[in-house]
Structure 1
């Protein structure tokens, strides 16, 4: 209460200050009732207050547990840069009578320092508390954490509005999170060093193994997994919506790219208000009419609203399209930092509620920083069915399996996670029941949840996975390949079958084969097989190699580490292609040419380097009539090195004369 009253005093000193992205002073805060009265939602909906100050102050992140309770992190330290103990905490908010309003509040953990992400599962609470990611446990069931374990450490605090965030359980059983572009981080684990800025990471909850899933974007602050297990991310400053694929590298807001990066674009061409996003949720619940389902809802900080996008399949990725806003607050203090589907199927919106949306404003006017407000809302439709209030952790295994077909995505996800936590034995009655559900369920989403429950619980058998690799549905095949790379990378039968799928007609499957091929090589090194698999995929998409927005980039990212060893195979495949149009591989040849040229010495070419030049001119000869633009692009890296005095021009011309006629205009006009 002291913090709350203190914040009101500070707010009076900031009445004339105009924050960034605003056109006038924000004025005093509205009461919860006043804030509700100003909110606009579509016809048939209304907004309800679930919790507010003083029970809730400066909320940053939230997560539901199996009983439907809400764990919320609160930060009074923001934007503090120094690590170490702080005044921040985690609260458990409980609606004990099911009326939609919190009536019991318990402090679960204290002494934290900007806890920027939270997830509940596998026996505890996972908290991003930079530089650490913590695992908090309540061993005596009094709703107070009494044991804390550092899972990994090394997250930066250079920019405290880009801290690790959005801890979210993935369909594959991993815990996923994000980090921002201006927050350099270094995590060392088991002798391996992970250096990164903007990235999606994941952690195995059992082994605690940390991995970088993909890199790029800007200050991403929100992960949503859709009903098919695709990961979508909301980001700031640059485009707002991204579909992220493992091993991909995406457009960065700033900072250098690794050498020879072929970055991927966002999935949107439209913009909503401003460009500061926080939180995202894929909504799939029968609590709303059909027109509002299977949409992505995103918090727009500067816009003071909840934006809506729908997505449509585009090759192995998606394209996003803007739709009307789902909520408009009409209150500049409104800051929607997180959105989640609840046990009742409604969308919950966590509101930081502050006059200052950016840390720059806090630095410019520290007395005006609010420390005492915070709200939690839910958006309700008047005709929603009666919600179910069950503690998912108390369901039997058969009841949990039945819940995998529930119309509420929250119930499906938590039931799947609970099954994973129970460590089901392969071939057990529960495992066989899940296998039967995969084979007999009419709903694709039910099939997938059953597959994910098998894999997450350790009950996925090799023989059953082999059958999934031959499934008629490409989504199932794609997930089978992905799980093969994660769980069975050294199984000869599974690896062999996955490599056959390099000829699959569906790009969703091909993308996963490209990613898995690298994992197979790490488990059982075979550079030749790795290269052969990636090149087989690269034969695809001959009619329009750039039509798929992600496939070529994923193949490139996974082939790039062995591009020099693969040079002759790449050249031979291109030279002997019978396709009348460019293949996916052909479209990558200029990038390979740049990578190979980077390895050439400045002068006195040795035999290996001479062979590189010979291969480049072989490609040039092959494409100069078939595709002159491609031929020129293949030559361009060599030209650039020559123009920049990277090569001795006399030595280079001597070498070129061995392979090319001075009468040919393409080469000699350039060199």
Structure 2
């Protein structure tokens, strides 16, 4: 204990020296940090606990009692703020009361135009653990597990309620349920922790399958490509437009989607962060008791506000509520590929010594500022994964109360004269805003035109895509036409010859929406000409588009796919894009391409072989209906807890978890598998000859030994379920096996590693 206090004292002295000497990094003296207490800091004093990048300032725009436990927000065209409150989240360390209908949506307004919200009113109440919202037309989408609702509004009051999706969230795990409801450039609404997208069409809601993405929070860049992460990973993202490539049921993942964008996962807290879930594990905290790597990364934002200056274009900010900070990343866009790195070494864009500062979502705003949703709460770890160690930390510093706090901030350059862009009622004036330097403004103008069904501006939009010198206005005009159902082949095909790749890219991305039985031959011919020009950036898009052409002409689609596979056999992005359109034709295509591409080491052969092997394995999968009858509680536990990381088919989910299907760990030693379920597993882990490690998977699987919700019988059932599901054929585990190891491992605090488990005394 003396050593701990000595380290804390040394760290505090270091911080104070740093604040005094290096004024470029920090211009205020921070208070001494006492890790034995964690008092609520009054709203007016929180900024004094923060360290912000030089040249910026931060302003508190809302706090309790106007808001409490905010987790998401939307601005409307009037500059008002719609805030979703998850008031019911973790009332105590056992989660007692989470089922109570205390969640709300409140509407905040800045009446005196001083940049601070000074009035609020309740719009929707009695919600149980709501998690996302999105303004659409004259209403609002609200995610309330397991449902997605659409509330029609009149004068800011709900007048009707429609269920859009009864399975918006599939399972009861609060940390792995869908969220986000992000309206993207392509007019669809996307989600994190989900493979669904939504769109309102007249009085109907369209629901389509898309790629699985992220955990909490979602954003887009200026080209409409999506970015997300999981709690252990800084930033993931798509290299291609979001609506493409999720069409082959046999293809587990498609190259170019859910890619690692920023592999650096280091964080640099300003304070000791012993209150993280696995702070007792070696390497989680450094010698100064600070978190080393992300453990609660969330709420990513690709900044597009246009206010911060050129150095902040293509920057991605990521929140880390466990470490009370916000990280800045620098992105580099090269063709279809985006790579990034942390902006700083040894510090962050924003950090606080207040342990209750919990940034959970980040947003652009109509004034160009960066907005921070701060849940301002002690407990942010859900009960399913809460360790005894963290429970002790919470109790020691009384982090379980109060529950009625919440703050929203905005960050902007020093001296900026912030002014919200006004969105006029005149649709022709909205067209001009499609070229605004602020990405939020461009998005909102597009949404207002589409939601308002402003067909009168169609001629202006068509003229804009032919003549505008403003790339952003051209792109948003194109997608506004798509949203109005007015984009045609004649609008799009000329753009395929544009000298700018972003314009060609958007033309290719929108093209599937205009293909019909009257124009598919013309479009197919135009795409063949693009292939002949050796435009390798366009090649994956053409392969994706071929899937749409296939609905009208199988041979025309096959001709495009074959030409691409022959021309780019080693390009994994082209290869996977081709495979995405080969559902149940993988065998025949592999046979055909073998004569054209003799190199068996080429990506096209390797990726096709992988798909074919997966198809063969699936033929031998055990009967899920019979398994659910034999192990009903195990099936429920898998569907609500395990599936979110390991997948419905047991083949794992990229960036989250490795496969269970065919895993030698699952089918092997009972003791090893039970030990993992009880106490958890820290990666890396080898499955079927492949070494899985971050960022390919998350760093750790939590154990269930201390989770009182699940009995030994529950654990036995889920263990037997996975040992008999899919192609697995492990022998039966009984209650005594679990009870024996639970008693034997009772004193163990940390998760296992595979090295430990592979030793003869692995469960000691």
TM-score by length of 1: 0.73
Q: CA–CA distance in 2 between the matches of 1:376 and 1:435?
A: 40
Asked if the contact 1:134–1:148 (Cα under 8 Å) also holds between the matched residues in 2, the reply is: yes
- CA deviations over 1:401-447 (Å, ceiling 9, x no partner): 1111211111111011111123244xx5x222112222222232221
Residue from 421, 433, 437 that aligns with 2:451: 421
User: Once the 2 structures are TM-superposed, how far is the Cα of residue 386 of structure 1 from its aligned partner?
Assistant: 4.7
Aligned equivalents of 1:559 and 1:23: distance in 2? 60
Question: Which residue is equivalent to 1:280?
Answer: 300
Question: How big is the shift at 1:327?
Answer: 1.1
- Say if 2:67 and 2:405, in contact at 8 Å, map to a contact too: yes
Q: 1:508 Cα deviation (Å)?
A: 3.9
Distance (whole Å) between structure 2 residues aligned to residue 502 and residue 215 of structure 1: 29
1:236 CA drift (Å): 1.5
Do the aligned partners of 1:93 and 1:102 also contact (CA within 8 Å) in 2? yes
Structure 1 residues 294, 26: closer, same or farther in 2, change over 3 A?
farther
2:328 to 308, 312, 329: 308
Query: For the Cα contact (< 8 Å) 1:234–1:241, is it kept in 2?
Result: yes
Between the aligned partners of 2:187 and 2:37, the Cα distance in structure 1 is 43
Report what 1:159 is aligned to.
173
1:76 deviates by: 2.1
Could you tell me which residue of structure 2 aligns to residue 268 of structure 1? 262
Report if aligned partners of 1:282, 1:297 keep a CA contact under 8 Å in 2. yes
Q: Is the 8 A contact 1:481 1:498 kept in 2?
A: no
Aligned mate of 2:374, from 315, 340, 351: 351
1 CA distance for matches of 2:603 and 2:251? Answer: 21
Secondary structure of 2:46's counterpart equals helix
Counterparts of 1:437 and 1:171, CA distance in 2: 17
Give SS of 2:106's match. Answer: strand
Quick one: structure 1 residues 496 and 541, their matched pair in 2 at CA, closer, same or farther if it must change by over 3 Å?
A: closer
Partner of 2:54: 43
Match of 1:435 in 2: 462
Q: Give 1:11's aligned residue.
A: none
Structure 1 distance, partners of 2:561, 2:243, is: 14
**Aligned to 2:159, which of 122, 131, 146?**
146
Are 1:383 and 2:415 an aligned pair? yes
| Partners of 1:569 and 1:82 in 2: CA distance | 60
Counterpart-to-counterpart distance in 1, 2:234 and 2:301: 17
Task: Report SS of the residue matched to 1:40.
Answer: strand
Per the alignment, residue 254 of structure 1 pairs with: none
Instruction: Give the superposition deviation at 1:38.
Output: 1.4
Alignment check: 8 A CA contact 1:297 1:308 kept:
yes
Task: Select 1:372's aligned residue among 400, 404, 414.
Answer: 404
* 1:299 equivalenced with 2:319 (yes/no): yes
User: What are the equivalent positions in structure 2 for 1:118-517 lying under 5 Å apart?
Assistant: 118-139=133-154, 141=155, 143-154=156-167, 155-179=169-193, 198-199=194-195, 201-204=197-200, 206=202, 207-215=204-212, 217=214, 220-238=215-233, 240-243=235-238, 245=240, 246=242, 265-273=259-267, 274-324=294-344, 325-360=348-383, 361=386, 364=391, 368=400, 370-390=402-422, 392=423, 394-425=424-455, 430-490=457-517, 491-492=519-520, 493-503=522-532, 505-517=534-546
SS at 1:438 equivalent: helix
TM-score (norm 2): 0.65
**Is the 1:225–1:282 contact (alpha carbons within 8 Å) kept by the matching residues of 2?**
yes
Give the 3 Å change call, closer, same or farther, for CA 240–596 of structure 1 in structure 2.
closer
Contact 1:83/1:157, CA 8 A, preserved across alignment: no
Q: 1:269 to 1:473 in 2, by over 3 A?
A: same
Counterparts of 1:72 and 1:416 in 2: how far apart (Å)?
22
Question: Of the candidates 97, 111, 125, which is equivalent to residue 96 of structure 1?
Answer: 111
The structural deviation recorded for 1:586 is 4.4
Cα shift readout 1:425-472 (whole Å, capped 9, x = no counterpart) = 4xx5x2221122222222322211111111112221331122223333
Q: Which moved more, 1:286-295 or 1:365-374?
A: 365-374
Describe the SS at the equivalent of 2:326.
strand
Give the direction of change, closer, same or farther, for the CA distance of 1:574–1:487 in structure 2 (3 Å limit). Answer: same
Aligned partners of 1:210 and 1:568: how far apart in 2?
35
**Structure 2 runs not aligned, ≥5 long:** 1-32, 268-293, 621-688, 690-726, 728-764
The 8 Å contact of residues 224 and 281 in structure 1, kept in 2 or not, is answered as yes
State the number of aligned residues: 540
Pair 479,312 (structure 1): closer, same or farther in 2 beyond 3 Å: same
For the 8 Å contact 1:49–1:376, the answer to whether it is kept is: yes
8 Å contact kept, 1:423–1:459: no
Cα-to-partner distance string for 1:532-552 (whole Å, 9 max, x where unaligned): 32232223446xx35x6x443
- In structure 2, the CA distance between the partners of 1:261 and 1:407, relative to structure 1 (3 Å rule), is closer
Residue 59 (structure 1) aligns with? 70
Q: 1: CA distance between counterparts of 2:118 and 2:618?
A: 66
CA distance in structure 1 between the partners assigned to 2:72 and 2:387 by the alignment: 20
Question: Residue 581 of structure 2: which of 533, 558, 562 is its match?
Answer: 558
* 1:594–1:456 distance in 2 versus 1, CA, 3 Å: same
Aligned-residue offset at 1:529: 3.3
| Aligned equivalents of 1:475, 1:315: Cα separation in 2 | 9
How far apart are residue 596 of structure 1 and its match?
7.8
1:13-32 alignment, distance < 5 Å: 24-25=35-36, 27-32=38-43
Indicate how the Cα distance of structure 1 residues 552 and 56 shifts in structure 2: closer, same or farther if over 3 A, else same.
same
**CA deviation map 1:493-537 (0-9, x unaligned):** 33443454445634442222222222332x42x443333322322
Partner Cα separation in structure 2 for residue 31 and residue 23 of structure 1: 17
C-alpha spacing 1:389/1:449, structure 2 compared with 1 (3 Å): closer
Q: 1:108: Cα distance to partner? A: 0.7
Distance of 2:213 and 2:441 partners within structure 1 = 31
Alpha-carbon contact 2:132-2:142 (below 8 Å) kept: yes
> Judging changes above 3 Å, is the alpha-carbon distance between structure 1 residues 225 and 27 closer, same or farther for their aligned structure 2 residues?
same
1:28–1:258 distance in 2 versus 1, CA, 3 Å: farther
Q: Distance in 2 between matches of 1:33 and 1:115?
A: 28
Q: Alignment partner of 1:512: what SS?
A: helix
Q: Residue 261 of structure 2 aligns to a residue in which SS?
A: coil
Structure 1 pair 592/388, CA: closer, same or farther in 2 (3 Å)? Answer: closer
**Residues of 1 paired with 2:477 and 2:244: CA distance?**
27
Q: Distance in 2 between matches of 1:440 and 1:74?
A: 45
Structure 2 CA distance for partners of 1:261 and 1:36, relative to 1, 3 Å: closer
- Quick one: distance in 2 between partners of 1:534 and 1:293? 36
Cα–Cα, structure 1 residues 362 and 459, in superposed 2: closer, same or farther, change >3 Å? farther
Inter-partner Cα distance in structure 2 for 1:74 and 1:419? 29
Distance 1:32 1:539 in 2: 63
Tell me the distance in 2 between the aligned counterparts of 1:411 and 1:52: 25
CA contact (8 A) 1:127 1:134 kept: yes
